[in-house]
């Protein structure tokens, strides 16, 4: 803890420091057809902070940020932290019930929202008793809504950071859990100084010369790591794209801004490859990119190899979490094993434990526990869940891994997703990766289902590539494809052909929805 002073405001460190060190006129943000320098962004953040103070927002008050990737998001985030208040970014793709939950659970005093979403959330305001101020980026649509532009125009561009402690709350994020209500993950001012440098320095070697583009949005932990935490830690520049991350748009953004670091998730890497395969006339230029990074879910080795064959670029796959703060196990340049999550990064400690709490030897599946000073201090109003997830300095990730003799970690799935056909543990990812190697398979997801004897067996959901037709013969062929390439007990007992798979907003397959569909008599996607 000695490296972080007792009085420490992380927004001042990430933003004001660059002005003090002479980078005020350096580009910090590329957005649409314009740019924003560090000095311009700092002024906007200061104006927003002063405006919030003028509205009566006090230190530790929560401020919900519901914006697409844009400079206003960054100004709202940094400006809120500089006042000692706590930004809480939330998804722009949430449901109405979600927004009511976020605002009420956090007891947010102010909400900053885009004009596009203002009518939807504004209609629910009567159900948000703690909310006092409704700030709209764009033209306010309702009486009582405050204009972002007017607030900033009437505020000073100078703001001294509130003298927060390194152990004060800095920001929250709501976890995108697959079951139960979302958890408010609380991070402190010092946390980023421990969870972010290992990836920025050891994995991608980020510098002030880098331009970073992430398809994962700022309101996700992974997206914030990519486009905010690491960028402003190192003095690099971020490319912000507010639209949906469709393959053609992703390639268009890369061609326009020429990023040097590209961050995405496995489903997006696969979608880009499929798009190029189905549109052979499209020319994609990734020559500016020196490193590609993947996280969010395990990257299949077949996608890694196809990407490398297509672009000559390797993908640095890793694993992290909202709770820990950033990626803690990762492949590194020159030290890649396709299909693995890589090795433990400096600054983190991990253990693989069995159900009894004992370390498992190499080659056996265990639950990954992580320790780092940047890990969340706990979950807001979730005391029991906090106790369940922590043992002293150690956090239970809930992820199942196998560690090989060389210290590489191989993801086996969430503990709830693991299968046990015939009394032997089986990772659904293993079967999915084999299915993806078949020429007909575009996407695949595997879950467990009970047979007529009440025994759990693997079942596969498959999306086919263009030109292939679903039929019983192809289903049998895919079953045999798995059977001959792995142990017979791993072959799916049934194959369902579907048009899409249920995914979270961050791209993770929601296997629980597939299991629920099977219990109700058939596929549900």
Please give the pLDDT value at position 520: 65
Q: Answer yes or no: is 525 within a domain.
A: no
Q: Answer yes or no: is 377 within a domain.
A: no
* Neighbour count for residue 440 (Cβ, 10 Å): 18
Same domain (yes/no): 249, 397: yes
Q: Answer yes or no: is 524 within a domain.
A: no
Please give the pLDDT value at position 524: 42
Pull the structure tokens for residue 365: 């599946």
Q: Is 62 exposed, middle or buried (0-12, 13-18, 19+ CB in 10 A)?
A: buried
Residues forming a β-bridge with 66: 113
Please give the pLDDT value at position 451: 76
Q: Where are the alpha helices (DSSP H) in 368-506?
A: 383-389, 428-436, 472-483
Same domain (yes/no): 361, 437: no
Please give the pLDDT value at position 114: 97
Which residue in this structure is represented by tokens 């433990």? 344
Same domain (yes/no): 206, 59: no
Please give the pLDDT value at position 525: 40
DSSP state of 240: E
Tens of pLDDT, residues 248-262: 999 999 999 999 999
User: Which of 242, 90, 109 minimizes the C-alpha distance to 175?
Assistant: 90
CA-to-CA distance for 100 and 98, rounded, in angstroms? 5
Same domain (yes/no): 38, 17: yes
Q: Answer yes or no: is 5 within a domain.
A: no
Tens of pLDDT, residues 78-126: 999 999 999 999 999 999 999 999 999 999 999 999 999 999 999 999 9
Report whether 496 contacts 461 (CB < 8 A). Answer: yes
Same domain (yes/no): 280, 364: yes
Same domain (yes/no): 500, 457: yes
With a cut of 70, list the residues of the chain below it in pLDDT: 1-2, 141, 176-180, 422-423, 520-525
Q: Answer yes or no: is 246 within a domain.
A: yes
CA-to-CA distance for 474 and 418, rounded, in angstroms? 26
Same domain (yes/no): 302, 366: yes
Same domain (yes/no): 41, 110: yes
Please give the pLDDT value at position 177: 53
Report whether 92 contacts 67 (CB < 8 A). Answer: yes
First to last CA, the chain: 47
Same domain (yes/no): 357, 259: yes
Please give the pLDDT value at position 422: 64
Same domain (yes/no): 149, 213: no
Instruction: State whether residue 457 is helix, strand or coil.
Output: strand
Q: Write the CA distances from 133 to 35, 58, 73, 316, integer angstroms.
A: 29, 13, 17, 42
* Residue that terminates a domain, selected from 188, 222, 247: 188
**Domain ranges, residue 359:** 192-372+383-415
Q: Answer yes or no: is 483 within a domain.
A: yes
* Residue that terminates a domain, selected from 136, 164, 188: 188
Q: Answer yes or no: is 49 within a domain.
A: yes
Give the chain's domain count.
3
CATH number at 490 reads 3.30.300.30
Residues forming a β-bridge with 329: 319, 344
* Residue that terminates a domain, selected from 156, 188, 220: 188
Same domain (yes/no): 178, 213: no
Same domain (yes/no): 110, 165: yes
Please give the pLDDT value at position 523: 55
CATH number at 329 reads 3.40.50.12780
């Amino acid at each position: 803890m000695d490296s972080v002073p007792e009085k420490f405001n992380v927004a001042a460190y990430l933003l004001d420091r660059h002005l003090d060190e002479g980078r005020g006129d350096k580009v910090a943000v590329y957005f649409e057809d314009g740019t924003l320098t560090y000095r311009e962004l700092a002024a906007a953040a200061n104006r927003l902070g002063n405006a919030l103070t003028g509205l009566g927002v006090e230190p530790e008050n929560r401020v919900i940020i519901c914006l697409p990737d844009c400079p206003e998001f960054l100004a709202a985030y940094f400006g809120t932290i500089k006042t000692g208040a706590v930004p809480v970014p939330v998804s722009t793709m949430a449901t109405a019930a979600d927004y009511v939950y976020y605002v009420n659970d956090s007891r947010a005093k102010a909400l900053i929202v885009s004009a596009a979403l203002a009518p939807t959330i504004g209609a629910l305001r009567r159900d948000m008793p703690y909310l006092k101020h409704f700030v709209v980026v764009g033209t306010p649509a309702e009486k009582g809504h405050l204009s972002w532009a007017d607030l900033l125009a009437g505020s000073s561009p100078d703001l001294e950071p509130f003298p927060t402690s390194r152990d004060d709350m800095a920001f929250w994020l709501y976890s995108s859990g697959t079951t139960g209500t979302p958890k408010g993950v609380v991070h402190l001012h010092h946390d980023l100084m421990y969870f972010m440098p290992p990836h920025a320095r050891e994995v991608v070697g980020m510098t002030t010369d880098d331009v970073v583009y992430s398809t994962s949005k700022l309101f996700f932990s992974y997206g914030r790591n990519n486009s905010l935490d690491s960028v402003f830690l190192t003095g690099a520049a971020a490319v912000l794209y507010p639209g949906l991350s469709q393959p053609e748009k992703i390639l268009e953004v890369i061609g326009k801004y020429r990023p040097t670091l590209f961050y995405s998730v496995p489903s997006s890497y696969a979608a880009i490859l499929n798009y190029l395969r189905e549109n052979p006339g499209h020319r994609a230029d990734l020559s500016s990119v020196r490193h590609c990074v993947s996280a969010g879910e395990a990257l299949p080795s077949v996608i890694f190899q196809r990407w490398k064959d297509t672009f000559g670029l390797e993908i640095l796959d890793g694993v992290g979490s909202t709770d820990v703060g950033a990626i803690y196990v990762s492949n590194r340049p020159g030290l890649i094993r396709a299909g693995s999550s890589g090795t433990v990064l400096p600054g983190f400690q991990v253990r693989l434990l069995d159900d009894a709490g004992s370390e498992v030897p190499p080659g056996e599946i265990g639950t990954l526990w992580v320790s780092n000073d940047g890990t969340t201090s706990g979950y807001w109003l979730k005391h029991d869940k906090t106790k369940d997830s922590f043992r002293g300095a150690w956090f239970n990730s809930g992820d199942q891994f196998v560690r090989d003799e060389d210290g590489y970690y191989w993801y086996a799935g969430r503990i709830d997703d693991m299968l046990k056909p015939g009394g032997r543990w089986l990772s659904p990812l293993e079967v999915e990766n084999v299915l993806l190697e078949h020429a007909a398979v575009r996407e695949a997801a595997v879950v467990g289902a009970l047979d007529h004897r009440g025994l759990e067996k693997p079942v596969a959901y498959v999306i086919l590539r263009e030109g292939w037709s679903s039929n019983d013969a192809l289903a049998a062929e895919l079953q045999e494809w798995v059977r001959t390439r792995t142990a017979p007990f791993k072959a799916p007992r049934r194959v369902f052909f579907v048009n899409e798979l249920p995914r979270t907003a961050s791209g993770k397959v929601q296997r629980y929805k597939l299991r629920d569909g099977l219990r109700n008599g058939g596929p549900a996607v």
